Amino acid sequence: MDREETNLRRSPFVIRDPVLRDYIQDIACRLAGAHCPDIRVHLVQTPLFNANMAPNGMMQIWTGLMLRVENEAQIAAVIGHEIGHYLMRHSLERLRDAKSRTAAANFFALFGLAGAVGQLALLAGAFGYSRDQEREADRLGIILMREAGYDAAEAAKVWGNLLLEISARPGGDPARFPMFASHPSAEERQQTMRQLAEAAPGGSTQEQKWNETIKPYLRDWLAEEIKRGQHEESLALFTRMIARSPSHAEFLYARGEVYRMRAGASDLDAALADYKAAVNAGGEPPQTHRGLGAIYRSRNQLSEARASFLRYVESAPAAPDAAMIKSYIEEIGA
């Protein structure tokens, strides 16, 4: 694992911004208490919901997770859960239980960046923690949250929101998803977390601090989520975000872009509505106007298409596709 961590430090996918890294490391330290010196947090640019912790104290947190949590308390819930596995030495128990060198190799690959990105679902299903270990990590994670001053009620919300995304898949059954197949049932898990939180209510969520800290990265993380191509999951995520922040131009643009890319029945109408709402909200990404232009062009509304494309290249003259958009403007003419 030390060798894997050395490789991870050299990876181009690691976020090296000291402000964001130190902020997340501080959350982990407040949860870990006296074990803070043992834990080293690495933030990885990958648009999937995942955090893991190796037996040597190497913790990975992926940007897909940071995009999905709504406040500091929620990411503390996930980090606390992983620290729970670490403190209870669950990963070492799994290694001792390995029946072959192949199983052990698969376990280590789960922590390695390349293996995890490409084979996370396969490996998690083949070498996941037991349900009892997951229950133990959940309980300890809630205790660590409370001791660090967080609202433990936020823990159940994290898993509930993730379930909504998975259920949005065509034929989506959370029980078939490896992360949930190895965990207690979603109903049991949420009920247990709520009961544990109700035993000691109170604590903070630090929502404003969280939003301010991730703001410089939000546009990039939304773009990565759009590129994943999992339209139903992304729509469930962005709809949840818009429900919390109805006038957030970034979220409105992101959902509109997914609708446009999916292009199902009535999707283009939905995309137009979201793009226009983003413009009305103000501060919309320049790509909002590119999306509007593309839909207008496909519908032969040429004057609207030209105006939208012009606004795009004016607001993003150095965009990689600026030359192509200019060719569309010339094609449309005056």
Rg (CA), the chain: 22
Provide the pLDDT for residue 176.
53
Provide the pLDDT for residue 127.
46
Query: Where do we find the tokens 């109408």?
Result: 269
Q: Cα–Cα distance between 61 and 40 in angstroms, integer? A: 11
Q: Which domains does the chain have, with CATH numbers?
A: 2-198 (no CATH), 216-332 (1.25.40.10)
The residues that bridge with 42 in the sheet, in sequence order, are 60
Provide the pLDDT for residue 103.
62
Q: Cα–Cα distance between 313 and 58 in angstroms, integer? A: 44
Provide the pLDDT for residue 172.
62
Provide the pLDDT for residue 93.
73
Please answer whether residues 309 and 325 qualify as being in contact, where contact means their C-beta atoms are separated by less than 8 angstroms: yes
Q: Which residues of 42-67 are buried (b: 16+ CB within 10 A; e: fewer)?
A: bbbbbbbbbbbbbbbbbbbbbbbbbb
- Mean per-residue pLDDT pooled into runs of 10, the chain (334 residues): 85 93 98 95 92 88 96 97 89 68 61 45 50 86 95 92 86 58 66 83 95 97 96 97 97 98 96 98 97 97 97 97 96 87
Please answer whether residues 225 and 291 qualify as being in contact, where contact means their C-beta atoms are separated by less than 8 angstroms: no
Provide the pLDDT for residue 115.
41
Any idea how long the chain is? 334
Residue type, 66: M
Provide the pLDDT for residue 106.
62
Provide the pLDDT for residue 167.
86
Q: How far apart are the first and last CA of the chain?
A: 62
Question: Which residues in the chain belong to E strands, given as ranges?
Answer: 40-44, 51-53, 58-62
175: helix, strand or coil? helix
Query: Where do we find the tokens 């990565």?
Result: 224
Q: Cα–Cα distance between 245 and 232 in angstroms, integer? A: 20
Between β-strands 58-62 and 40-44, what pairing exists: parallel, antiparallel or unpaired?
Answer: parallel
Please answer whether residues 95 and 124 qualify as being in contact, where contact means their C-beta atoms are separated by less than 8 angstroms: no
Specify the DSSP class assigned to residue 183: S
Provide the pLDDT for residue 118.
41
Provide the pLDDT for residue 111.
57
Residue 76 burial (CB count, 10 A): 33
Nearest by Cα to 60 from 33, 74, 39, 91: 39
Specify the DSSP class assigned to residue 148: T
Q: Cα–Cα distance between 300 and 291 in angstroms, integer? A: 14
Query: Where do we find the tokens 């396969």?
Result: 122
Q: Cα–Cα distance between 62 and 162 in angstroms, integer? A: 15
Provide the pLDDT for residue 109.
60
Burial of 17 (0-12, 13-18, 19+ CB in 10 A): exposed
Q: Cα–Cα distance between 76 and 73 in angstroms, integer? A: 5
Nearest by Cα to 231 from 158, 173, 169: 169
